[in-house]
Amino acid sequence: MVVEPSLLSVKDLCFERDDIQVIDSVCLDVSDGEILQVEGPNGSGKTTLLRLLTSALTATHGDIYYQGRHLSECRFEYLSNLLFLGHQSAVKMTLTAEENLSWMVGRPIDCEELLAALDSVQLTGYSDMPCYRLSAGQQRRVALARLLLSPPKIWFLDEPFTALDRQGVALVEQCMQKHVDGGGSVVLSTHQPIAMDAVRRYSLVNQLSTGAN
């Protein structure tokens, strides 16, 4: 029986900054259709780990494999199949919601597709409004609308519930569920409990992976 490799596999990943070991020997696997929640207190390296996994930072030691191939052999393919949403929205304030989404997604967006995405995040009627006129929660929703417009296989979400009310949190959970139901995968960090089934957790403190809820 042939065993398919994990979608993403990390072996002994380490990262050192100013002679301080920030990430130490992380080993984890992410499969298709899986949500992995990275846990740890503030300062434990959650954001650093996500940035390492997205190649925004270079590891001091260790290896990352995508579908069984070392990242050095398939970097372009890997980067083309991931989406990173940081705890800061990265919304450009002088652009409209529509212009921001076109810039974030990196492709022309059909008007109906864009309006449907904004409607899904409760921003109907805000497509042509400069983002500096939106509240912090609304700006966050503009960034989250990207989840509805992006085809990448793996989502890396760093504190995705920041500045969101209960409805916004439920919306993010719905987006994640739809993504994994379609075979995609999510790696996220959050201090907030996730009201979803099949969430596996990885502790940066204990370096242990625990099963789904």
pLDDT in tens, 8-41: 999 999 999 888 888 999 999 999 999 999 998 8
Q: How high is the mean pLDDT of the chain?
A: 87
pLDDT at 139 over 80: yes
Q: Could you read off the pLDDT of 155-203 as tens digits, one per residue?
A: 999 988 887 888 888 888 988 998 999 999 999 998 877 878 778 989 8
pLDDT of residue 209: 61
Distance, CA of 47 to CA of 155 (rounded, Å)? 14
Listed in order, strand segments (DSSP E) in the chain are 8-17, 20-30, 35-39, 61-66, 69-70, 82-85, 154-158, 185-189, 199-203, 208-210
pLDDT at 65 over 90: yes
Structure-token pair, residue 29: 């696997």
pLDDT of residue 42: 83
Nearest partner of 10 among 56, 62, 73, judged by Cα: 62
Query: Domains in the chain, start-ordered, CATH in brackets?
Result: 1-81+152-213 (3.40.50.300), 88-151 (no CATH)
Question: Under a CB-based contact definition with an 8 Å cutoff, are residues 12 and 63 in contact?
Answer: yes
Confidence of residue 208 (pLDDT cuts 50, 70, 90): low
